[in-house]
Amino acid sequence: MASTGLDSFTNPAEIGAMYPGVGAETAMVGILVALWVAWHVFQMRQEEAEYREALKLYREVGMERAMHHATGAIATEDEVKIGN
């Protein structure tokens, strides 16, 4: 069994930190900030691609037909006329 080398906790100021990774806090914060920024960049790129795809669809079939059904299916001309 591993020992901490301590035989009493009478003077906590001398003990210091007692957790894994002592001293790595700054590096971990830097890594987490970099991951956070990378996630935002990835997310913005994905959303931009989705928006461009939607705009392409709207230009091809028209907004009315593309937005007619909530299921994502493109409405036929007859369905759009019936819905109005």
State the pTM of this model: 0.57
65 close to 74: Cβ distance less than 8 angstroms: yes
User: pLDDT (tens digit, 9 = 90+) per residue, 61-79?
Assistant: 777 777 665 556 666 666 6
User: Each residue of 24-65: pLDDT tens digit?
Assistant: 999 999 999 999 999 999 999 999 998 998 888 888 877 777
The domain limits of the chain are 21-83
Q: 78, 64 in Cβ contact below 8 A?
A: no
